[in-house]
Each structure stands twice: as C-alpha cells, then as structure tokens.
Structure 1
C-alpha cells in the first residue's frame, strides 16, 4: 500500500456533548448506490459481506433514487444497521456526460453523493456488482487519505472507483465543490463517469490498495479461477451474473452464485459459522432462524449475544421460545445467566442446577449459583457452590472469586446505630480494581475522618436490598450512596434497578432516613445503552427520595438530567469524586519532597470493542512508539489497576519487542496506592481513576481517552489538553509532546494540578456544609 498526500479541509465537528466527540472513536460506514436493476447484485453483496466477515457490522448507507418498499424490506432483512438516503438526482443533470439520455449513465454519477455524508469518519463504498470473498479488516483499519485499487488497464496513476475508502477530510463541502466543477466543465474522461471525475480531480493522489480488494473480472478472462487471496471480486462490464453472466468467466460467476440464496439459507449458514460473529449480526440472523426452527443451540448463541450487549430481557425472551432438553447443559446455563440478570432468581437457580450435570458447564453453573446465594446474603450456600465449582475445575476464576468473597470478613458495625451512616458502595475484592478498592474509603473521608465500622455500616451495592437491609439502614442516621460509576448497566446486572445498586422500588420508597447520593458517575460507554424504562423509573425514584444528589462530573449531570422530568433537574448537582481531592482529605498528608524518575502508563481492556473499535492495532503501535520516546524522559512502567491491565505489557513485548516493568496495583492497599501515585512524575492512564487518583495526590496526568468520563473530568478542571483520544491520528507524537511540556517545568505543572484541585475542594467543602445539615454531624 503506497500512501499519497491527502486533500484537507475542515470536517464537521460533532456536538460537544456527543460521546463520540469526546472519545474520538471513529465512526465507519459502508455505502452503495442501489436501484431496482442492480438490487439482485446488492443483495448478493450483503450476503457475502455477512458470511465472509461475520465479525464486521458497521452502518451500511444505501444511496438510492427510488426503491420500492418491498426492495427496502429485502435489504433490511440482510443487515441490522442499514440506513437509506435518497440522492439529489437533479444535482447531476448539470454535469457534462457522454450520453445524456442513457439512464444508466445518469445513475453512474449518483454514488458521488457519498461525499456529502458528514456523520462518519470513514466511508467504504462498494459497487453493487461486487461480492466479498475474504477479510476486509485492513480496509477498516485505514485512517488517512482516499484509498482505492489502481485500474487494471491504466497502470498506477488512475483508480478504479468500485471500491473507495474515504476519510473525513474528503467528506467536505470543498471537495464536493471540486467534484461539481469538474463534472460541469466536462474536463474528464466522459465515458468513465464518476470514476473519470475522481481521476481528473485526484490526478493520481490516492492511497494505493492491493488488487485483491477490487479484483476485476477482466483479470480472469479465459475462465481462470479466482485467486485464493481475493477479498473482493468485481464484475465490471455490461454482463452481470444475475442477468446470465458472460462466456469465459464461469468460475468467477460461480463464486457470485454462492451468495444467491434465500434469507432462510443465509440465516442458517450464518449461525452455523464458528468463530466470534458480531453480536448484532448474530441477533439479526439468529432470531428469525430460532423462530422458524426452534433450534436450541442457535437460541443459546443469540441469548449470549444479547447478554453481551446488556439486553438481558431479550436473552430471556429468546430462550423462552425454545424447548431445552434436560440434558442440554449449556442452554440451561445461559438461560440461568439471563434469568438471574433480570432478578428472576428462583427460575435461574433451577436452570443452573440442571446445567451442573455436565462436566464442561458445571464449574460456570456452580459459580453462578454461588453468585445468586451471595446476592441474597447466604454466604454459607455461596461458599458451598463455589467449592463445588472449584472441585470440577480448580482453575475456574469466577468460582474462586466467589469463594474468596465468602471468606473475607465483612466490616463489623461497632458503634451506636444512631451515630452511624449506612454506605452503599461497590466493595472491591482482593486483587480487584485498585480504583474501586480506594473509592469507599475516599467517600467516607469526605464525611468523617473515621472510616471504620464505628461510624459506618457497609451495604454492598450488588447484594439484594431486602427487608433485613432496609431495617438496618433505617436504624442509622442516614444513607450515603457512592462513589464510583454506579450508573452502569452491566457490571453486575439486576432487574430491580437496572443499575448497580440492586434495590427494588418498593424498598427504596420505604427508606426513612435521609439519602445522599455522593459523587456517582454515569459510566455508560460510547455505544452502550441501558434498559431505558426500568433504569429511568429507578433513577427518578432515587432522585425524588434523595436529600442530596451529587454526580462526579458535569457530563454525568447532563446525561442524568436528560432522563428526568424537568422539575427534578435542579436536584442534580456537581460533587467531584473525592479521590480528586485526596491531598485535602487524608489526615497529615505530606506532598513528596522528591519524586521517582518514572512515568506510569495504564491501559484498560474491559469492553475492549467499545474502547478501541477497529483501532487496537494502531493504538498499540502508537504506544510502542511513545514508550520508546518517553523512555528518554524517565523510566516508563506499566501500572495495572486490575489483572487485565497487564495486557499492554504482554502485547508490547509480543508485537513490538518492548519490555515494561509491571506494577500490580491490584495487590496494593489504599495507602500504597496513594503513595505510589504521589511520588511518580507523570501518569498516563486510561482508567478514570488512573487519572483522578494521581491528580488527587498532586501528580500531573495525561488521560488516554476511550470513555467519555475521562473527557468529562478534564473539562471540569478546564484542562482538556491533558487528554488524548486512543484513536488520535498522531497519538504517539501528541503523548510525547504533552509529556515533555508537563515535565519541562515539573514544579510549575504540579502547582497547576494543585490549583485545579482547589476549585474541586471548594465545591466539596460547600457540599459538606449542606450534608452536615441533611445528615447531622
């Protein structure tokens, strides 16, 4: 692939509140112009794309001038994310053409409407006389320029416009104006239509792709076989396969006919594939297949896709449509998983017990049974099930986690109940996420220097809030809920609230003591959604019942207010995460006299698809370049908040030959976490608390933004330049440049961090004064 300089122009920016604008995550779409004559070819193209690239599911824009409703329905059946845009056909009537009266010639220009698309970063056009035969992953990873395959007959200077990979700098009014100028002047090869205009405009200035991505039929003259590495086969010329084809190309046309099938056959072929199909495609093709056949294994796959997408009720619904034989363990286990995720615990228990009969599913089923028992406060039963899971598989991680959780000594309330606050939080296990481990203590420090059971009653957010829990809470002087990103749907799903606190509405309404929601975050990723109705109802009740409702950034405030009736908006206010003011909260805090000559890097891998999209390989390569250059400034080390965070060290070593020391922060106590972050010079972190904790300790930070919350925090402290998207085209250069700037006068940078922190502390103190009135001192 040979790069060529790009034609640049300012692209349309996304709104400031748009998650994509904050994370910089690329939006990718396919596009084709489709009419009734070429509809059979387009349907074959969609089938081939699904079957050869089952892990790819981007938006597909259908440009058209007049498709019948039946044709629209046929297209929708073949892709879950198809959108239709009518072209401005009259716009192209002013173009000089070789044959003005030929309707096919007129329509050949309509694909140029693709350059009028403004809501995507990358658009891949595909002619409707193509079929996809192999992986197109490389096309999805392209990030610069306008890419195409050079024409077969004309050498490297001219492109074939059947496939174009267009980046956003070309999706502009300026570029469209240049297309119009050439089209209206006729200064191009008239018989090449849209392709002629583009070649006249670009004059060879395009990124050259391998011929396998637009392998034209003419290369196979004499009935040659299609090469095995062909990714996209293009049936150029007058004779199309759906019209009978052309003599001398039988083997090529046979490849096209592989994708001339019914919807039912496509669905069956798709669900029979192995590997890791895209969840949306699996739901789209698997659901009608289950409805038609009642196939249990397909229902299981579709249910797992729904669970992966956080749509637990849909997973229950698909499993309820099929009859599961008693000895089919895996479907029972998946059905049990779905049922427990919507809080139908007794039914879930029955399904999971059936699943324990099969050795290959037993450990997972026992671990889920342990989880259900633990959720209900039955540690003895949870321990029994966890041990049974470990007996089947001693390496089973989930069974081990639940076993350890039942062995840990819960915090004992030691003081008088009327002098205590109840505290709903996610209490992290040993070797759990370091940031979540620190959070409960940090929240308590904002209320009382004594963070022990003398002043606090711990209420684990993930345990079912039942009558006994209600009685314990109502015996205290108040209830604090926070901190952390509790407004997230999938860490420990339940059907009672659809967020992290497993509280039924009727029990929430019976809480008699004042409720303070403190520094909670709305933590949905870009592309992640809640079960809207249940979450909104629970959220509204919580806001109504709360005497204080503080969210940890203004981005979360905007999101939550949008889900509430207008009369509740003013109750939602700003309360910074207490980790960001650690220096003010920790008794006898001392800023370090000297710091280690280190730069700490943190990367997160939970929900990696939502974080990186198609850009992980790019991100890793950029981080490798950055680490090499940052090593000239200080020793670079990997700091792992959780076990999964160590992956960046493994991947850098395997892919780029770079070795980083790994600091297992998940093994640290709270004091050790704060001490390490206080004495380093700079932290480059992807997790929210790999930014907020070091900032709170007075240490300069740069955030690797893969989640909106990172940008929310930097916006709140008025330092957006301390963040860079993991998708940034110049990620390595930006990281190194900003690191140099922050380290050049380190004392000045630290003073700036302290100054930013002062405003957060002022707000925290003002809220504390109000909370003392609400909760009593």
Structure 2
C-alpha cells in the first residue's frame, strides 16, 4: 500500500484506536502547579476561568507534590475534569539553582513537569497567582509553536512563563532533555528559575502573544485600573492577594476578590451567566446548586444539558426532584422532552400540554406532542398538534416537519404478506439527508432487485413497535433491520431500546420470523457514548435473536463486541454498507462514458462541537486554501446532503470571499443522487455517505474525517490515505496535494476504486448466500 506525503499511518488497526486518534481531534488541557500555600490562588483561578469563559471546559491538569485530601476535594468541587499528576520532585534536585535551600525556589521548577505530558496536543499553563478576566478563545485556537507574552521589563526576546501555550512538538522527550541539560548545567539565569531555563533553551524562539494574555500587575503601579481588554491578570511578586496584597495595587486586587467566592456563591454565579454554558460545568456546578436551592430555572438548564448529551434519565431525575410551578412553561417543556425520550409518554404528554399555555414555548411543545402522536401511529392527532404549533409560529420548522409527516399518505402495499420481508429502517423525509434517503432502497437491493412494496413491508424505526406492528411483522417471511444511523443514541431517543428502533424487549422477543441485521453502523461520535445499560441489554437481545447480524465496518464490529458477552462475538460479522457496492446492485447499472470536470465538496454541521472542537475557524481557512488550489485545476462545487450542509458555501463567501455553486442533493431522488456522484471526477466529503455513495458508483473520494466511521471505512478498503482529519494542521495543503494527485492519475485511481470495491462485493455475495439459506430461497 502506498501513502502520500502527510498521510498518517499507525501500527494498530483502526478498530483498536481511540476515537480521537481516528478523527485527529485536538486534545486540549490547562495545567498549573499547585501546593498548599498557593491553593487559595488556584481556587480563585478555577472560578475565574469558568465565569469568564463559561462555554469552555477542558481537562485541567493539577501538578502537585503535597496536596492534602481536603484540598483536592476543594479543587474537584470547582471543576469536573481535574487530572491529578504528582511531580517527581527529586528530578529537579539535580538542577543548579540560585538558592538551593529556599523551598519556594525549589518548587518553582515543578511546573516544567508539564512538558512530560503526552496525552494532549495543546496545553495552556496558568500560574496560580492569575485570574482570567476575558475570552481565551484565541489561545485555544493556537496550533503552532510555543506561545507566551514577552517579559514586561526585558523587551521582546524573553518570555514570561506565567502563561504558556504549548503544542505537541514541545511535549516530547527531546525537549525535556534540553530542559534537563540546561537545568543541570546551570547555564541560565538562576534567579529566574523555570522561566530562566525556558528562555535559555528557546533563545527568543517563541510565538509572541499580546500582553493582555499575561498582564502583570507591575504595569498597574500607582493603583491604575485594570484595562478593559485584559484577558489574564497576573499578580507577580511576593505579595499575593490572598495573603494581604500590596499597597498601590488596590484596584487590581479588587478584580481578584471578585472570584473569592464560596462554593454556593460560585455555583449560583455560573448558573446566572448569559450565553452558552458548557455541559460538563453546568452539570457539575448546577447539580448541587439545584439540590440546595430547588430552583426550577436552574433545574431546567441542568436538565437541558443532560438532554444535549443524551443523558435523558438524568434530565428526568433533576427536574422531577424540584417543584415546577404550573405557570413556568419552559421547565415543563424540557421535562416533557426528557420523559418522551425515555418512553414515559403519558407523563410527557401532561407536561407538554402545560407548556402550551405559554406563547414563547407553545410551538415547541406542540411539535413534541405531534412527534409523540406520530410515534404511536396517531396521524390525525399528530397533524392536529403540528397545526396548533404552526398557528402559534408559522415559521416553526419542527411543527412544519411533523405536519408534513402526519399528512403523508402511506405507500400502498401490492404484495401479499407471505411474499414480503418486513424492513425496519429510518425512512427519510423528502428534504432530508440524501444519504439516509438512499439507504433503505439500497439495503433492499442487497436482497434482490425488487425494492417495491410488492416484496417489502416498511417499518419506520422511530415508530413505537407495538403489538399491532409485531403482528404485521410476524405475518411476513422475515425481518430486515438496516438503513439509517440506527446505532446512535440521540437522533430520535427512546427508553425502550436506547437506539433508533423503538422496540420494547418483550416485542423483540416475540418476533418469530428470521431477524437479519444488515450493514448497521455504530455511529457514536468522538466524545459521544451510550451511557445507559438499556442499550447494552437491547443490543444483546437483538444479537441473540438475530439469524444474521452484519455491521458495516470493522470498527463498529469491535465497538459492539466490546458490549457483548464473549459467546456472542462470533455472531457479529462484516457486511459492508450496500451503498459501497452500488455498481453491482443497481439493476442495469453502467458506468458513465464521460465525467464532468468537477470536484464536489461536502461538509457536515450536525453536532458541530463534536466535529470541530475549537478548530472550525482553522478548518474553514484551510478549506478556502484547498478550494483555491483545486479550483486552479477544475471547478469545485458544494454538494449539500441536507439543508445545513449549505453553510460551508455561506461561510466561505463571508469569511474568505469564495463563491461556490451549491447543489441541493437533499432535493434529489435516489437515481439522481447516484448519477451526480458517478459523473464527477472526485468527491471530498465529510458525511459518511458522501464517501460511501460515490465510492459505490466508482468515483474517487477523499474523506474529511470528523467522525470515527470515516476512518473505519477507509481502513476496511485499505486506503487510509484517502482521508484527512478536519483538524490537520496543514489541511489545505494536504487536501490540495491529494486531490490534484487523484485528478492527475484519475483513470488509475478509478481502477483502484473498482478493485477495492470488488473485495467488498465478494463479502456481500458470500453473505447473500447465507441470507438466502436463512430465508429458504
């Protein structure tokens, strides 16, 4: 296998790697050295970080050597992601120092242990005599070098080590060796301690940050006010605010005292912050606040955070534990949302009806009521609720969606039950995700050319699988499950299975026809998980009941097997997504005689925080470089699988002055989707099916990896070089090089796609023989 420059190779198979290693998502942490003397300063620092940057919550590494258990408990009470790391103090005893007997001098070196961290891509160090007053987004977005603010008194050549933004290349054994050699030689400013060593090693080679990110108090001598744009205020010198302070700096110390809060005061202050609050901080600080105060609005915020993370039962618990006044609609609406997500439908309906009394929550509450009615097959009731939502807000998107679904006429089945297979899938709406729209039909092609209702009985995965549905399925020849992101916790949550098929265990057990799970994927994002035991129980029962259990990539197989007892592992087998072999499945398929001189670009924006982290600005700038570079060879067009995918075109035009034609693939039928992808020369896609569909019709692909499943697929076809992380530091250059290389060797690459596809087709054919045997064909 060949690789192109910049391609990442690993000794481990993709299925064995952690998800962040597959997506390339940057792991970011803050770090401080903390001891008992500086503990009050560190607690103020933690509070200030949360209150000044309420949407930020990364790991905070606490380097220490003598913290007491009670002190650690106080630290943990303020931050949910504390990582304790004990310093090897003896290591620094080998360094030459200006005063060997001063314990403070000795401890000043311990922060250098931060360079021994290997788990992170970016580490931001903060001295414990700092408070954060402003937005740190610029620091979180830094990608290169070692960044710091130059020293106040020494010009631009030397840095102040109170704040460092350290990238991975410095978190290395080689850089640690340089620090150790300098420390042991004494060839540095001994009275500057760790800062002296860093300046000696770097010799001015660092990225300069604006002084507002390490604004030393000496700049405020004479009791000057703290400038409005100060992001981090640093109380350098011997006299610390928690020790009484220093004359002439009263106004600066007033800013520090803003964060000298009790835990209860801090929790209340965080809950009252405007804007987006980070899920981890909101849950960590909000839970004890709600338990102490019983405040309904705070409970609503905490519950909404739980819902956003897929922790639906936790959301129910927190709101059920407080008194909700009848006239406070929003908490009732959130509780209704949580209750319906755990399938407590009657209770959910009561809460949502209460919420409809408030004009500002009514449309959302009516849409959820319409959704629940649709889940239960009550079309007239669903349409009534959706119409009520639109009467409150004619622009309400969810109400319009449910009105359309409720008003749709079910397809008339033309075959007899004894000739049909039942098919559980996510049947996408007319303007829904193009990939999900194509999937059910393509799954059916895996069982033969007839995909119509003559042979198939449709079972929408999101509808409650009740006794009537069970009876209809048991009247068919078999049950096929596949089509749509079914093993994902949050698209349409339910408490019956905790995945996308809303099936109670008792009804799954009662299915008495062969069950065939076909090319389903484990679709959890990096940073997303199935927290409930309910999913594992439902999964185990499904595997036990299945006559065939095929997953679409080996990464999914590894993840699912890890949730199963050993005796079920061998039942989980590889079945490629049928979209990847469309050329062999679509009746009468012929490859296009000619291709358009275009490259199609797709970007996805669902769960954007999980996809991009702090790197969206970087991603957009690098994509702009790539579009210009590739555009010099061929026309680049934006292809939107869903409405939200069009954002890439808007953002490129607004931020970088690039205009791309937009192809609304969400409006296409299945033949048009395949045809468009077959006629282009290359597809650069972020969605899974923006890679698998074009590959399946013989078109070269480059995957923009923001989800592990992209890397899983490329590993299965043994072409990891056809993917690049959205977080890649040199994304624009790498993407341009790989795309132009494919365009220059297009016929060879198309032949390689066909060869890779042939291997998947052989697996599909072998599985098809087993499926025919199961069905007695």
User: What is the deviation of 1:485?
Assistant: 2.4
1:749 paired with 2:749, answer yes
SS at match of 2:703: strand
- Who is 1:139 aligned against? 139
Q: How many pairs align?
A: 768
User: What is the deviation of 1:152?
Assistant: 0.6
Quick check: 1:34–1:128 contact (8 Å CA) kept in 2?
yes
Q: Structure 1 stretches (4+) deviating beyond 3 angstroms?
A: 10-16
Matches within 5 A, 1:330-729: 330-729=330-729
Quick check: 1:483–1:577 contact (8 Å CA) kept in 2?
no
CA pair 278-706 structure 1, distance change in 2 beyond 3 A: same
Please list the CA deviations of residues 716-759 of structure 1 after superposition, one character each: whole Å capped at 9, or x if unmatched: 00110000000001000011100111110211111111111000
Q: CA RMSD in A?
A: 1.2
User: What is the deviation of 1:14?
Assistant: 9.2
- Who is 1:173 aligned against? 173
How far apart are the structure 1 equivalents of 2:412 and 2:142?
56
- Who is 2:150 aligned against? 150
How far apart are the structure 2 equivalents of 1:372 and 1:419?
32
User: What is the deviation of 1:483?
Assistant: 2.6
User: What is the deviation of 1:448?
Assistant: 1.6
Matches within 5 A, 1:243-258: 243-258=243-258
User: What is the deviation of 1:124?
Assistant: 0.4
Please list the CA deviations of residues 17-64 of structure 1 after superposition, one character each: whole Å capped at 9, or x if unmatched: 211111000000000000000000000000000000001000000000
How far apart are the structure 1 equivalents of 2:655 and 2:490?
31
How far apart are the structure 2 equivalents of 1:81 and 1:177?
29
SS at match of 2:327: coil
Matches within 5 A, 1:281-296: 281-296=281-296
1:220 paired with 2:220, answer yes
- Who is 2:329 aligned against? 329
How far apart are the structure 2 equivalents of 1:425 and 1:412?
17
Quick check: 1:431–1:667 contact (8 Å CA) kept in 2?
yes
- Who is 1:78 aligned against? 78
- Who is 1:234 aligned against? 234
Please list the CA deviations of residues 370-416 of structure 1 after superposition, one character each: whole Å capped at 9, or x if unmatched: 00000011111101111111111111000000010112222232212
Quick check: 1:312–1:338 contact (8 Å CA) kept in 2?
yes
- Who is 2:26 aligned against? 26
* TM-score, L = length of structure 1: 0.98
1:280 paired with 2:280, answer yes
Please list the CA deviations of residues 487-530 of structure 1 after superposition, one character each: whole Å capped at 9, or x if unmatched: 10000000111100001111111110010000000000000011
- Who is 1:117 aligned against? 117
- Who is 2:4 aligned against? none
CA pair 391-556 structure 1, distance change in 2 beyond 3 A: same
- Who is 1:68 aligned against? 68
How far apart are the structure 2 equivalents of 1:444 and 1:634?
36
* TM-score, L = length of structure 2: 0.98
CA pair 15-213 structure 1, distance change in 2 beyond 3 A: farther
Please list the CA deviations of residues 320-372 of structure 1 after superposition, one character each: whole Å capped at 9, or x if unmatched: 11111111111110110000000000000000001111111111100000000
Please list the CA deviations of residues 635-676 of structure 1 after superposition, one character each: whole Å capped at 9, or x if unmatched: 111000000000001111111111111100000000110110
How far apart are the structure 2 equivalents of 1:609 and 1:776?
48
How far apart are the structure 1 equivalents of 2:532 and 2:633?
48
Quick check: 1:11–1:171 contact (8 Å CA) kept in 2?
no
How far apart are the structure 2 equivalents of 1:270 and 1:757?
53
Query: Mind listing any 5+ residue stretches in structure 2 that lack a counterpart?
Result: 1-7
Quick check: 1:688–1:710 contact (8 Å CA) kept in 2?
yes
How far apart are the structure 2 equivalents of 1:329 and 1:163?
45
How far apart are the structure 2 equivalents of 1:12 and 1:380?
55
Please list the CA deviations of residues 558-588 of structure 1 after superposition, one character each: whole Å capped at 9, or x if unmatched: 1000110111111101000000000000011
How far apart are the structure 2 equivalents of 1:465 and 1:12?
43
SS at match of 1:485: coil
How far apart are the structure 2 equivalents of 1:620 and 1:742?
22
User: What is the deviation of 1:83?
Assistant: 1.2
1:264 paired with 2:257, answer no
How far apart are the structure 1 equivalents of 2:414 and 2:68?
73
SS at match of 1:351: helix
User: What is the deviation of 1:714?
Assistant: 0.5
- Who is 2:161 aligned against? 161
SS at match of 1:97: coil
How far apart are the structure 2 equivalents of 1:610 and 1:775?
41
SS at match of 1:462: coil
- Who is 2:129 aligned against? 129
Quick check: 1:65–1:89 contact (8 Å CA) kept in 2?
yes
Quick check: 1:149–1:208 contact (8 Å CA) kept in 2?
yes
SS at match of 2:78: coil
SS at match of 1:636: strand
How far apart are the structure 1 equivalents of 2:52 and 2:270?
9
How far apart are the structure 2 equivalents of 1:321 and 1:344?
16
How far apart are the structure 2 equivalents of 1:652 and 1:277?
28
- Who is 1:3 aligned against? none
User: What is the deviation of 1:100?
Assistant: 0.7
How far apart are the structure 2 equivalents of 1:528 and 1:554?
19
User: What is the deviation of 1:273?
Assistant: 1.2
- Who is 1:5 aligned against? none
User: What is the deviation of 1:290?
Assistant: 0.8
User: What is the deviation of 1:776?
Assistant: 2.7
How far apart are the structure 2 equivalents of 1:482 and 1:411?
19
User: What is the deviation of 1:15?
Assistant: 8.3
1:90 paired with 2:86, answer no
Q: Which has the higher contact order (CA 8 A, sep 6+)?
A: 2
How far apart are the structure 2 equivalents of 1:12 and 1:107?
39
How far apart are the structure 2 equivalents of 1:299 and 1:14?
44
User: What is the deviation of 1:308?
Assistant: 0.6
User: What is the deviation of 1:11?
Assistant: 13
- Who is 2:307 aligned against? 307
How far apart are the structure 2 equivalents of 1:658 and 1:161?
40
User: What is the deviation of 1:418?
Assistant: 1.4
Quick check: 1:213–1:231 contact (8 Å CA) kept in 2?
yes
Query: Mind listing any 5+ residue stretches in structure 1 that lack a counterpart?
Result: 1-9
Quick check: 1:15–1:21 contact (8 Å CA) kept in 2?
no
- Who is 1:185 aligned against? 185
How far apart are the structure 2 equivalents of 1:171 and 1:268?
37
